[in-house]
With several copies, the nearest count.
Chain A
Amino acid sequence: MPTIVIDEDRCKGCQLCTTVCPKDLVTMAENFNAKGYHPAKLEDPEGECTGCTMCALMCPDVAITVYR
């Protein structure tokens, strides 16, 4: 099942991954990560992620790994 893994501690909370997901699955978490940023998180209860890599393409910090 396609999905993504966000390396929370690598994330700088820039949001670049959030608007490009065709399924709107990526949002910003409420919590702070170790660096003090709100990291991005995948919310995909229905397993909608297609592994399209859109989100990963936009990540400046290579914090997203995509599985398919």
Chain B
Amino acid sequence: MPEGEVVFARPAALEDTPTHYCPGCTHGIIHRLIGEVIDELGIREITVGIAPVGCAVLAYHYFNFDTVEAAHGRAPAVATGIKRVSPENVVFTYQGDGDLAAIGTAEIVHAANRGENITVVFVNNAVFGMTGGQMAPTTLPGQVTTSTPTGRDVKVDGYPVKVAEILAQTTGAAYIARRTVTQPKYVRSCKKAIKTAFKTQLAGLGFALVEVLSTCSTNWGMSPMEALRWLDENMIPYYPLGDYKVIDEVKALP
């Protein structure tokens, strides 16, 4: 082992278990950021995570704290149930774009609208990863997927859903932001946003969501490096990074 101080290592909130994710899948980075934030806030022992149905379905193997697996799309309802009977716990959901923006549309809209005091990490990779790369609500116009073999035709298949923009319209939302993890600077900014989203809950300020643009090199049919670039060049223009709603109390958070 080298000398010197360890300045970067696995956070305690993350198990030392290899993930089942494909090489280069940025789900892994996002998991790590959550782990780091939970460590830094010292809330590992009071946190309850909700794993989605999607590639992150096994997240409970990787997170080192209590976890519940929700049915596809229902994580916000499960989180609501927990938080309402156990407000002393920190409750967050981790959801993909199929999970959150297709089948789970009603649940996320109403959790936001109720101002449910939970945190949502929303991983937008523009496809249904787990089931093999079908069109997601967030698939880009023209994007080829296994269920849009000639590319998403917005006139027939609908338009990519802008989750952050729509949820920012709900009165109950306290903090809504969009980030990505394709470059170190983005990773840092994403972590900060996730931290703010957890702090929002800790301060009892209501619903917080961070949409994270993520890659799926396997289903995009690219190398992991190409996938990063494709995301930067194609997804960010359509899904601009930034803060979509930050209520004053969140701005004032230390």
Contact = CB atoms under 8 A, between A and B. Distances in A.
Complex A–B touching at CB under 8 A: yes
Interface of A: 1-3, 5, 10, 12-16, 19-20, 37, 51, 53-54, 56-62, 64-68
A15 B224 contact: yes
Contacts of A37: 23
B14 A68 contact: no
Interface string B164-194: 0000000000000000010110011000000
B184 A20 contact: yes
Given A5-B1, A53-B8, A66-B7, 19 more contacts: A1-B2, A1-B4, A3-B2, A5-B2, A15-B224, A16-B224, A16-B228, A20-B184, A37-B23, A56-B8, A60-B25, A60-B26, A60-B27, A60-B29, A65-B6, A65-B10, A66-B9, A67-B3, A67-B7
A17 to B, nearest CB: 10
A15 B6 CA distance: 22
Contacts of B10: 62, 65
Contacts of A2: 4
The 10 A-B pairs at the shortest CB distance, nearest first, are namely A60-B28, A14-B24, A66-B8, A12-B23, A14-B23, A67-B4, A14-B224, A56-B8, A67-B2, A53-B8
Contacts of A13: 23
Given A60-B24, A62-B14, A65-B9, A15 B225 contact: yes
